[in-house]
Amino acid sequence: MAKSQTELRPLGKSVGRKEDPRFIRGMGRYIDDIVLPGMLYMSLVRSPYAHARIKHVDPSAALEAPGVKLVITGEDLAAMDLAWMPTMAGDKQMVLATGKVLYQYQEVAAVIAESREQAEDAAQLVDVEYEPLPAVVDPIQSLDPDAPVLREDREKKSNHIFHWEAGDKEATEELFRNAPVVVKQNVRFPRVHPSPLEPCGCVADYQSSTGKLTWYVTSQAPHAHRTVLSMVSGLPEHQIRVISPDVGGGFGNKVPVYPGYVCAIVASLKLGRPVKWIESRTENISSTGFARDYHMTAEIAAEEDGRVLALRVKTIADHGAFDAAADPSKFPAGLFSIVTGSYDFKESFVEVDGAYTNKAPGGIAYRCSFRVTEAAYLIERVMDVLARRVGVDPAELRKRDFIRKEQFPYQSPTGWTYDSGDYEKTLDLALEKIGYEELRKEQAEKRARGELMGIGISTFTEVVGAGPSHTFDIMGIKMFDSAQIRLHPTGKVLARLGVRHQGQGHETTFAQIIAEELGLSTEDVLIEEGDTDTAPYGLGTYASRSTPTAGGAAALCGRRIRDKAKKIASHLLEAGEDDVVWDGVSFSAKGLPDKSVTMKDIAFAAYTNVPEGMEPGLEATYYYDPPNLTFPHGAYIAVVDIDKGTGAVKVRRFLAVDDCGNVINPMIVDGQVHGGLTEGFAIAFMQDIPFDEDGNCLAPNWMDYLVPTALDTPHWETDRTVTPSPHHPIGAKGVGESPNVGSPAAFVNAVVDALAPLGVEHIDMPIFPWKVWEVLREHGVNK
Amino acid sequence: MFPNSFEYMAPTTLAEAVELMQRHEYDAKVLSGGQSLLPMMKLRMAAPPILIDINSIDELRGWKEESGFLRIGALTRHSELENAVELRDRYPLLAETAVWIADPLVRNRGTIGGSLAHADPASDWGAAMLALHARVEGIGSGGERQIPMDDFFVDTFTTALEETEIATAVLVPKPAGRTAGRYLKIERKAGDFAIAGLAIHVVLASDGTVAEAGFGICACGPVPLRGKRAEEYLLGKKLTPETIDDVSRMVPEDADPEDDLRGSAAYKRDVLRVFAERGLSDIAKELQGEGVVG
């Protein structure tokens, strides 16, 4: 049962979510709810081909259609030097195609009309003549020296985007040469899509009278978007106001800037009227930021008893037509080098090569701190391969190889400094809670009867909270974050942060942090995010960074307020400042506990009765540059049963024991874990965006890109251990992505465990029933 | 996600609807539950200039038992058949099938007549009505007629109904003995179209032999298909493990699946075999008691 919002000392309590009443009653205000006077609507013309030369684009019939005000083509944008825009990954991307198209559903023209229906009707009248070219859909073929070069705009005449590596190659090779055991496994992480319930969209409103552009957009990073927009368009940054209203899910999909946004802004600038653009579901899935699409090979060198020595990883990353990843600048493969995971590898060498293909651009982080899901899946999968090879139970193997709690802060062979962890404690709790030994007994009995039951473990380590300014920036902007707290005379608080929530519960959790620091209740604190004209600058909400960055800023900003409050308290209590003590809800003079003043008293005094010489008012801003990332971890266990007739997998149980440091709101953490597990389940069992050989996207809508419902989803069991982050102001670590990062391996390990008696070592996601059936029939199981 | 513009008409009598269909011929499309037509129009895969909404025609609603058959009005919603307790003894396959159709929202709007007239190869009702040896009743300029299920599905999205005809009812024969039905379906996720589905209808004679048998195959061909070999083989036999095993291997022979995102043709055939075996074993237990098959 959720706790009341009026409780004092709310940190760590399951306070009811402040945002729920409006969301549950359908009273949220999302991008499509915004209607401005004189607003026009935009629809995009998209390419039916994955690779084709554009012979000509003729907008004349569309321009004559009812209600049409403007048609924008790639050539129009080229004349404004806007046909291309930079991506956050340092590549560039076509806004509207000129010369040729590079993926199916690529943006070719924009039609602006009085109504949405008119815009859609007229979009069909834009006449585009294409000359189809052979499509390259496989990234491995794309890297072949003889493959046609897709990106004619680049100086480098190949489809190779980047090579990136981490770790010590020589030292790793040396350990491999002498290792008693070496295992190797190819693992594909399919192309998936965050697919938020609300697709992307915006309303661009340029006022020629003031020269100011107000841009309403479904953005996870409104401040970053303002800066990017200013850099691309040349509009002065103070004349751009970005407002991100309620966001109906983001999961990384709403971090990049998309071509439709630029077109809507150009249209508003040209027409002097507001222009709305709302994507369809198909447009969202087929053209906006996808995730993963990693083709990985991992090798582990180990001792006979399974103690690991070295890890070697080679990866081909399929980025589609443009590298539109939203990674920090120095990390073209994100934080993938966290791939040594929870294990004490002596050395590791990791390589990633990026490739262009005729597919939609991206490589964004889907509920994942920049490629950490790929890394965690790979290592957890391959640790099971090793366990099987050396004949050690996978739980036992993990315990042998864990980084021990006394090794923290732990220096990983690829350069990370893990802040804290107690992996054995977390796994032990999970094993006990799920009844691991009994399950193994049951499994042995079932195997004797020919039944297929599997148990899968994943003991992952996450890396979140990008990040410290010495290492992390996006387009040069350091990845700190901020909070600003203002106390009104009656003791009520308005707090604004540089992040932008999309379901994480910031209106509650950040209010809890600030209320805790100020001795108030959650109800006393109003959180506002998403308006760049009012909130302090920050890089946004993704990569589980809000609590590690803005959450730290909120706590430290609260403490900054409290420092001034103490001075006012000293004045009100007529006591020396050194004699004033804070007990969590009020100040009192030492030895005189009966006489106390609360933050409410102090707030009033700040506007009515400040000490001589003190600046009135009570507000503060804090920019928090975290000294390190945080490293949440967890132990997940899945139990599955396989139907030998149909190949269907039933997830009988799933237990997630998470350790995300100190918890702000247990109920919200549970909710985050449930949501992330559901997405991890979907990735493991049903999600993939396949393409045919011509580059046609075969799952561009929810009929074929599958999102599970409550009927599909297993019952989630959760528990927690707490290993606080030593450097975070409240010892928290971030949790939103752990369940998505950690769970796919648990599901797949369970399925492979069930099939292990047949000699199966690996099965690629998504595990559709037919895949299991094929394995069963190949091995002569025919029931 | 907006359809092309169209004209909307909502007749309140069948006669009026027939008249409109004759007047507009090819341009007109009947709007029943709209659960397939409207998404296709929004995706602009279908663009009928005129929609004739039949939802105000009361004579197309409800069901009643007439001599020898159950007459189900074309406007009957899937959820109504899912919840029709009074039909469960004599027509168990109706509720067994209805609960598998899409999701509760679709079942509340979608209609049995609309589903059949749409002729999707993955139509759950198509498979069930084949198994029940039902007939579709239609009305057009030439008056009323009845079309046996075997003649009804012509090709994917194409039925034997004329351009100007409206499906008015489905006629399900009354079973001549103790009856049981099963609908088995595998989906990629809840509410998805079938990877493969199998409707099974069995009526036993008083001597325990099979008096009526029906097998309807879903999503394994251009249209829903009949498991003809299995039906013929089973007539007059008892439901023993041996006959069930034989029949389960015959059902896939009448399927015509293709490889697609949902699985290979071989997979779908094998799932039909597994479904036939499971469904019939279950039916045998229900009609004959636990011991007979055991």
Phi-psi region of B252 (alpha: psi -120 to 50; beta: other; left: phi over 0): alpha
Residue among B267, B269, B272 with most chain A CBs within 10 A, to mutate: B267
Closest chain A residue by Cα to residue B194: A703
* Domain identity same for A72 and A127: yes
Residues of B with CB under 8 A from a CB of A: 1-2, 4-5, 43-44, 103, 186, 188-193, 195, 261-264, 267, 270-271, 274, 277-278
* Domain identity same for B49 and B81: no
Closest chain A residue by Cα to residue B272: A646
How far apart CA A239 and CA B259 sit, in angstroms, is 56
The CATH number that applies at residue B23 is 3.30.43.10
User: Which of A303, A327, A302 is closest to A312 using CA atoms?
Assistant: A302
Range of the domain at A106: 34-133+198-248+254-287
Mean pLDDT of A33-40: 98
Enumerate the residues of chain B whose CB falls inside 8 A of the CB of residue A121. 4-5
Q: Report how far apart, in Å, the C-alpha atoms of A405 and of each of A418, A420, A421, A462, A731 are.
A: 11, 7, 6, 16, 17
In this structure, is residue B148 part of a structural domain? yes
* Domain identity same for A415 and A523: no
Q: What is the pLDDT of residue B290?
A: 57
- Name the token pair of A489: 């005379």
Q: What is the pLDDT of residue A406?
A: 98
In this structure, is residue A763 part of a structural domain? yes
Phi-psi region of B214 (alpha: psi -120 to 50; beta: other; left: phi over 0): beta
Given the residues A202, A263, A368, A660, the one annotated as active site: A368
User: Which of A506, A524, A514 is closest to A7 using CA atoms?
Assistant: A524
A593: confidence class by pLDDT, cuts 50, 70, 90: confident
* Domain identity same for A357 and A322: yes
In this structure, is residue A361 part of a structural domain? yes
* Domain identity same for B47 and B119: no
The CATH number that applies at residue B164 is 3.30.465.10
Q: Burial level of A230, CB count in 10 A (0-12/13-18/19+)?
A: middle
* Domain identity same for A225 and A78: yes
Domain boundary residue, one of B133, B155, B173: B173
In this structure, is residue B230 part of a structural domain? yes
Range of the domain at B217: 178-288
In this structure, is residue B108 part of a structural domain? yes
* Domain identity same for B157 and B246: no
Closest chain B residue by Cα to residue A44: B1
Domain boundary residue, one of A594, A624, A654: A624
Q: Report how far apart, in Å, the C-alpha atoms of A363 and of each of A164, A255, A293, A319, A693 are.
A: 15, 11, 8, 6, 21
Contact state of B267 with A774 under an 8 Å Cβ cutoff = yes
* Domain identity same for A603 and A636: no
Q: What is the pLDDT of residue B292?
A: 47
User: Which of A225, A236, A194 is closest to A540 using CA atoms?
Assistant: A225
Phi-psi region of A293 (alpha: psi -120 to 50; beta: other; left: phi over 0): left
Enumerate the residues of chain B whose CB falls inside 8 A of the CB of residue A767. none
* Domain identity same for B87 and B165: yes
In this structure, is residue A142 part of a structural domain? no
How far apart CA A421 and CA A403 sit, in angstroms, is 9
Contact state of B263 with A712 under an 8 Å Cβ cutoff = no
In this structure, is residue A471 part of a structural domain? no
The CATH number that applies at residue A68 is 3.90.1170.50
Cα first-last separation, chain B = 55
Q: Is A220 a catalytic residue?
A: yes
Enumerate the residues of chain A whose CB falls inside 8 A of the CB of residue B261. 690, 698-699, 704
Contact state of B278 with A645 under an 8 Å Cβ cutoff = yes
How far apart CA B157 and CA A126 sit, in angstroms, is 30
Enumerate the residues of chain B whose CB falls inside 8 A of the CB of residue A704. 261
Mean pLDDT of A615-623: 98
If you average pLDDT over every residue of chain A, what do you get? 97
Tracing tokens 């945002």 back to the chain, one arrives at A19
Q: Select the more confidently predicted residue: A633 or B293.
A: A633
pLDDT, tens digit (0-9, with 9 covering 90-100), for A493-538: 999 999 999 999 999 999 999 999 999 999 999 999 999 999 999 9
Domain boundary residue, one of B125, B141, B173: B173
Mean pLDDT of A755-768: 97
Contact state of A709 with B195 under an 8 Å Cβ cutoff = no
Nearest Cβ partner of A709 from B44, B191, B277? B191
Q: Report DSSP state, residue B241.
A: H
Closest chain B residue by Cα to residue A770: B263
Contact state of B195 with A770 under an 8 Å Cβ cutoff = yes
A450 at the B interface (CB within 8 A)?
no
* Domain identity same for A498 and A581: yes
Nearest Cβ partner of A709 from B190, B261, B277? B190
A411: confidence class by pLDDT, cuts 50, 70, 90: very high
Mean pLDDT of A396-406: 98
Closest chain B residue by Cα to residue A707: B189
Query: Domains in chain B: how many in total?
Result: 3
Length of chain B in terms of residues written: 294
In this structure, is residue A164 part of a structural domain? no
In this structure, is residue B293 part of a structural domain? no
Contact state of A648 with B186 under an 8 Å Cβ cutoff = yes
In this structure, is residue A183 part of a structural domain? no
Contact state of A769 with B1 under an 8 Å Cβ cutoff = no
A190 at the B interface (CB within 8 A)?
no
* Domain identity same for B67 and B164: yes
| Average pLDDT per consecutive 10 residues, chain B (294 residues; last block may be shorter) | 93 97 96 97 95 97 96 98 97 98 97 98 98 97 95 98 96 96 97 97 96 98 98 97 98 98 97 98 90 44
Nearest Cβ partner of B274 from A645, A706, A708? A645
* Domain identity same for A460 and A507: no
Q: What is the pLDDT of residue B294?
A: 37
A32 at the B interface (CB within 8 A)?
no
Q: How far is B266 from chain A (nearest CA, A)?
A: 10
* Domain identity same for A320 and A447: yes
Closest chain B residue by Cα to residue A646: B271
Phi, psi of A321 (to 5 degrees): -75, -25
In this structure, is residue B233 part of a structural domain? yes
* Domain identity same for B67 and B138: yes
Domain boundary residue, one of B173, B205, B225: B173
Q: Select the more confidently predicted residue: A249 or A475.
A: A249
A94's enclosing H/E stretch is strand A92-94
Enumerate the residues of chain B whose CB falls inside 8 A of the CB of residue A709. 103, 189-191
3-state secondary structure (DSSP) of residue A159: coil
- The one-letter amino acid code at B42 reads K
Domain boundary residue, one of A590, A624, A658: A624
Residues 6+ apart with CB under 8 A from B36: B110, B114, B115, B118, B120
* Domain identity same for B86 and B164: yes
A191 touches A688 (CB < 8 A): yes
* Domain identity same for A488 and A432: no
Strand partners, B143: B140
- Name the token pair of B105: 């929202």
Is residue A408 predicted with pLDDT exceeding 50? yes
Tracing tokens 């590690």 back to the chain, one arrives at A548
In this structure, is residue B1 part of a structural domain? no
Nearest Cβ partner of B189 from A281, A647, A712? A712
Q: Is A368 a catalytic residue?
A: yes
Contact state of A707 with B261 under an 8 Å Cβ cutoff = no
In this structure, is residue B2 part of a structural domain? no
B16's enclosing H/E stretch is helix B14-24
Q: How far is A726 from chain B (nearest CA, A)?
A: 43
Closest chain B residue by Cα to residue A771: B263
Number of Cβ within a 10 Å radius of residue A711? 10
In this structure, is residue B284 part of a structural domain? yes
Contact state of B5 with A117 under an 8 Å Cβ cutoff = yes
Q: How far is A20 from chain B (nearest CA, A)?
A: 24
pLDDT, tens digit (0-9, with 9 covering 90-100), for A191-240: 999 999 999 999 999 999 999 999 999 999 999 999 999 988 889 999 99
Contact state of A707 with B189 under an 8 Å Cβ cutoff = yes
Size of interface A-B (CB pairs under 8 A): 64
Is residue A33 predicted with pLDDT exceeding 90? yes
Enumerate the residues of chain A whose CB falls inside 8 A of the CB of residue B270. 773, 777
* Domain identity same for A490 and A638: no
ipTM above 0.85, yes or no: yes
A369: confidence class by pLDDT, cuts 50, 70, 90: confident
* Domain identity same for B33 and B72: no
In this structure, is residue A147 part of a structural domain? no
Out of A589-598, A642-651, B49-58, which region has the weakest mean confidence (pLDDT)? A589-598
Tracing tokens 């020296």 back to the chain, one arrives at A145
Residue among B249, B269, B270 with most chain A CBs within 10 A, to mutate: B270
In this structure, is residue A184 part of a structural domain? no
Given the residues A347, A380, A507, A737, the one annotated as active site: A737
Query: Domains in chain A: how many in total?
Result: 3
* Domain identity same for A616 and A678: no
Given the residues A220, A443, A484, A512, the one annotated as active site: A220
* Domain identity same for B207 and B105: no
A690 at the B interface (CB within 8 A)?
yes
The CATH number that applies at residue A579 is 3.30.365.10
A232 at the B interface (CB within 8 A)?
no
* Domain identity same for B163 and B184: no
* Domain identity same for B187 and B280: yes
Residue among A646, A681, A773, A781 with most chain B CBs within 10 A, to mutate: A646
Given the residues A17, A367, A381, A545, the one annotated as active site: A367
* Domain identity same for B166 and B240: no
Contact state of B274 with A768 under an 8 Å Cβ cutoff = no
Q: Report how far apart, in Å, the C-alpha atoms of A184 and of each of A8, A121, A168, A382, A483 are.
A: 55, 54, 19, 8, 47
Q: Alpha-carbon torsion A434, A438, A444, A449, what sign?
A: negative
Strand partners, B156: none
Enumerate the residues of chain B whose CB falls inside 8 A of the CB of residue A706. 188-189, 192
* Domain identity same for A394 and A350: yes
